[in-house]
């Protein structure tokens, strides 16, 4: 799954102008990035680049982990064994994505422990989409189709992002995400060809997930102050609005194929632009959810904290055992 960088703070502006950084090094770094070279963990990089990346990659990792919860909500009730296995495999992939991403972020000098503490304290963000509830089985299809669909839009360009470990993690993740999107679409296809109740379930899911999916691309470009710098640094390769438009253009025909109605009265094909025009996103809702006021924001964070706290004794035991083993092999 996916997160866009949503938690931008004006404070970063100061970091970009860090006087302590050697201008020659900065210039050399900018040149390498502009030439589409990969930056590797031991290469010199500006502090602001490092910080922005840690934030972006860890948000992405947190999103993968928190994203397991809304899907896990239906895992025990999946209506066939094959669907249960597909969903479990998908959730397992997401845990795996979370793991590669935490590892990629760790190469920048921040430990997983620190990142997880930041998530649990509410300091770090994750994708707002996971603060919405999964109310029916069709939501599992909608998440695959729309949420993973949006993720792909954003992640495909990130395979060419300037930071090597992030780009490489993204190559692997993208392959799995396209499988996730297909399974979501396939799940919905089965529903729309099923009983009237199943079709209604699919329509209801699209009705609830459409707008939050568009919000996944983050604030509009004119309210995204760091976009220019992030694009120059190749941390971001396309703007939020460009990616959102591409998603709408790709997804509307898929909704038509499913025979489902996109819940936007302003949605029309604009011949002149060669794109769909669509209605205004409820930005007040977007910012509320980013702030932590989403419908299930408290529940999601509590579930993660509880899992972590209740597992503390297991992690301590594993460390203690490892220490004992190390001592034993020394003594031997």
Partner 1 sequence: MADPLFEYLQRLGDDSLILAQRLCEWCGRAPSVEVDLSIANMGLDLLGQAQLFLAYAGEIEGKGRDEDALAYHRDAAEFRNCLLVEQPNGDFAQTMARQFLFSLHRELLLEALTASSDTRIAEIAAKAVKEVRYHVELSSDWVIRLGDGTDESHRRMEEGLDWFWRFVDEMFELDALETELASSGIAADRRALRGEFDRRMTEVVERATLEVKPSQWPLSGGRRGRHGEELSRMLAEMQVLARAYPDARW
List contacts with partner 1 (CB under 8 A): 65, 68-69, 71-72, 75-85, 88-89, 91-92, 95-96, 98-99, 102, 137, 187, 190, 194-195, 197-198, 303, 306-308, 310-318, 320-321, 324
State the alpha helices, DSSP H only, in the chain. 12-16, 23-34, 47-66, 68-75, 81-106, 112-120, 138-142, 148-158, 164-192, 196-215, 227-232, 240-258, 283-288, 297-310, 312-331
CA pair distance 69, 56, nearest whole angstrom:
21
Q: Between residues 129 and 243, which has the closer beta carbon with respect to partner 1?
A: 129
CA pair distance 4, 40, nearest whole angstrom:
22
Identify which of 120, 127, 7, 6 has the alpha carbon closest to the alpha carbon of residue 67: 127
Q: Between residues 48 and 66, which has the closer beta carbon with respect to partner 1?
A: 66
Q: Between residues 283 and 321, which has the closer beta carbon with respect to partner 1?
A: 321
Q: Between residues 29 and 100, which has the closer beta carbon with respect to partner 1?
A: 100
Output the smallest distance, CB 297 to partner 1, in A: 16
Q: Between residues 81 and 284, which has the closer beta carbon with respect to partner 1?
A: 81
Q: Between residues 199 and 234, which has the closer beta carbon with respect to partner 1?
A: 199
Q: Within its chain, how far is the Cα of 128 from the centroid?
A: 9
Output the smallest distance, CB 141 to partner 1, in A: 10
Residue 113 near residue 61, CB atoms below 8 Å: no
Q: Between residues 62 and 208, which has the closer beta carbon with respect to partner 1?
A: 62
Residue 128 near residue 294, CB atoms below 8 Å: yes
Which residues in 206-235 are b (16+ Cβ under 10 Å) and which e? bebbbbbbbbbbbbeeeebebbebbeebbb
Output the smallest distance, CB 123 to partner 1, in A: 19
Output the smallest distance, CB 284 to partner 1, in A: 30
Residue 115 near residue 58, CB atoms below 8 Å: yes
Output the smallest distance, CB 61 to partner 1, in A: 9
Output the smallest distance, CB 94 to partner 1, in A: 9
Output the smallest distance, CB 137 to partner 1, in A: 6
Residue 65 near residue 3, CB atoms below 8 Å: no
Output the smallest distance, CB 133 to partner 1, in A: 15
DSSP-derived secondary structure for 176-245: HHHHHHHHHHHHHHHHHTS-HHHHHHHHHHHHHHHHHHHHTT-S-GGG-TTHHHHHHTTS-SS-HHHHHH
The residues pairing with 163 across neighbouring beta strands, listed in sequence order, are 39
Identify which of 163, 153, 131 has the alpha carbon closest to the alpha carbon of residue 57: 163
CA pair distance 244, 210, nearest whole angstrom:
12
Q: Between residues 159 and 198, which has the closer beta carbon with respect to partner 1?
A: 198
């Amino acid at each position: 799954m996916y997160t866009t960088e949503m938690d931008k703070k004006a404070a970063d502006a100061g970091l970009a102008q860090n006087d302590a950084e050697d201008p020659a090094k900065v210039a050399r770094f900018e040149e390498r990035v502009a030439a589409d070279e990969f930056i590797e963990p031991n290469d010199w990089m500006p502090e602001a680049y490092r910080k922005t990346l840690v934030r972006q990659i860890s948000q992405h990792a947190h999103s993968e982990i928190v994203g397991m919860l809304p899907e896990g909500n239906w895992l025990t009730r999946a209506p066939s064994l094959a669907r249960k296995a597909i969903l479990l495999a998908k959730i397992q992939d997401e845990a795996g994505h979370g793991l590669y991403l935490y590892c990629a972020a760790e190469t920048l000098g921040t430990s997983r422990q620190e990142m997880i503490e930041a998530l649990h304290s509410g300091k770090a963000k994750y994708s707002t989409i996971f603060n919405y509830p999964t109310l029916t089985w069709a939501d599992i299809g909608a998440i695959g189709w729309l949420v993973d669909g949006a993720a792909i839009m954003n992640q495909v360009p990130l395979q060419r992002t300037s930071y090597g470990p992030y780009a490489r993690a993204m190559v692997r993740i993208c392959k799995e995400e396209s499988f996730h999107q297909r399974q979501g679409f396939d799940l919905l296809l089965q529903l729309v060809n099923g009983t009237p109740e199943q079709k209604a379930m699919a329509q209801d899911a699209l009705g609830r997930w459409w707008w939050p999916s568009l919000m996944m691309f983050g604030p509009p470009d004119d309210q995204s102050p760091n976009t220019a710098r992030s694009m120059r640094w190749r941390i971001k390769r396309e703007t939020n609005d460009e990616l959102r438009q591409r998603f709408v253009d790709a997804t509307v025909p898929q909704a038509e194929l499913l025979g489902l109605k996109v819940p936007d009265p302003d949605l029309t094909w604009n011949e002149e632009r060669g794109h769909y025009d669509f209605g205004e996103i409820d930005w007040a809702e977007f910012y509320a959810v980013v702030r932590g006021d989403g419908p299930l924001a408290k529940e999601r964070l509590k579930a993660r904290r509880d899992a972590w706290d209740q597992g503390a004794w297991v992690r301590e035991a594993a460390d203690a055992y490892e220490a004992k083993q190390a001592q034993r092999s020394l003594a031997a």
